[in-house]
Amino acid sequence: MARAKLERQMARRAAAARKRRQVLAIVGIAAAVIVVGGLTGVVVWAKSGKDNGSAKAKAKPSATAAAAGSCYTKATAKSGQKLKDVGMPSNSDVPKTGTQTMTIKTNRGEIDVKLDTAKAPCNVNSFAYLASKKFFDNTTCHRLTTKASGLEVLQCGDPSGTGSGGPTYTVKDENLPTGKKPTYPAGTVAVANTGQAGSGSSQFFIVYGDSDLPASYSVIGTVSKGLDKVQAIANKGVTGANASKGDGAPKEKVKISSLRVSAPATSSPTPSTSASNKS
């Protein structure tokens, strides 16, 4: 009986470890990347490396995590990352009340997101700033996971379309889920990261089916229109080396023609005086 109990415990621990590794690979960009063929062109996927998603690893701040009181911190591209420099939002005069609307126009239909400016002011302001720079225009949603993977999310927001891109700054974590199951219900829109605190930026994921993830991803809002469009994309499945596991690029290509964020009740986002504005 003791041996049987030990074997059950070991099996549970192994299953939990596999799920943690999977989660890190699902929603995040990383310095180390591996190239996987078999997709439309060549897609670069995030690699979790030695971070197995443990509580200790999750709690460790990234080297570029925002300083106390600051929303944004300048980031330097690491090996394999493809960062696009459009400057950085100002750390002052960030709107902190009300809501805004993010309108995502794609070749598969329009998706509207109600952004919670009051609960995630830094991240919402970042998306408004990047949208004003047309950062998301003519980009693709590079990753989709289906029920076979245990998670149901569509990930977008990388101009390079590789999963390793973003702007040249990071945003502090905000509005992390607390004590709810599932942690990320259908309709949730949250910011992807590398698995380290304060490492989110432009990549975001739309949850189209209730999904349990570590409470480590900043929730910026909920889909108010077009969730059925995302679910229809998911029903077409994925393609690539890990397609049998429900993890890959959407089989039905998703291209964002434009992404815009409505103006807040206060002033619109402004760049910092020291930020460059290269496109």
pLDDT tens, position by position, 144-157: 999 999 999 999 99
Model confidence at 61, pLDDT cuts 50, 70, 90, reads: very low
**pLDDT at residue 13 greater than cutoff 90:** no
**pLDDT at residue 266 greater than cutoff 60:** no
Domain that holds residue 44: 2-261
The confidence score (pLDDT) of residue 118 equals: 96
Residue 127 domain flag: yes
The confidence score (pLDDT) of residue 14 equals: 66
The confidence score (pLDDT) of residue 274 equals: 44
Residue 122: in which H helix or E strand, if any? helix 121-132
What token pair was written down for 180? 């709810």
Q: Which is nearest to 146 in space by CA: 9, 271, 240?
A: 240
- Whether 217 and 182 have beta carbons less than 8 Å apart is answered as no
Q: Express each pLDDT in 229-243 by its tens digit.
A: 999 999 999 999 999
Residue 32 domain flag: yes
- More confident call, 3 vs 161: 161
Residue 184 domain flag: yes
State the number of CA atoms in the 13 A half-sphere of 176 facing the CB.
Answer: 14
Those residues with Cβ within 8 angstroms of residue 26's Cβ, 6 or more apart along the chain or in another chain: 143, 145, 149, 151, 153, 155, 213, 247
Q: Is 205 helix (H, G, I), strand (E, B) or coil?
A: strand
Q: Which is nearest to 74 in space by CA: 241, 201, 182?
A: 201
The confidence score (pLDDT) of residue 19 equals: 58
CATH of the domain at 245: 2.40.100.10
Q: Is 105 helix (H, G, I), strand (E, B) or coil?
A: strand
Residue 9 domain flag: yes
Q: Which residue has the tokens 């805004």?
A: 100
- Whether 143 and 151 have beta carbons less than 8 Å apart is answered as no
- Partnered with residue 110 across adjacent β-strands are 105
Strands of 153-156's sheet, edge to edge?
139-140, 255-261, 99-106, 109-116, 219-225, 188-191, 204-207, 153-156, 143-145, 247-250, 238-239
Residue 273 domain flag: no
Long-range contacts of 276-279, Cβ-Cβ distance < 8 Å, separation of 24 or more: 276/85, 276/87, 277/86, 277/87, 277/133, 278/85, 278/86, 278/87, 279/86, 279/133, 279/134
Q: Which is nearest to 133 in space by CA: 96, 93, 103, 88?
A: 88
Give the chain's domain count. 1
Residue 115 domain flag: yes
- More confident call, 71 vs 41: 71
- d(C-alpha 38, C-alpha 270), whole Å: 41
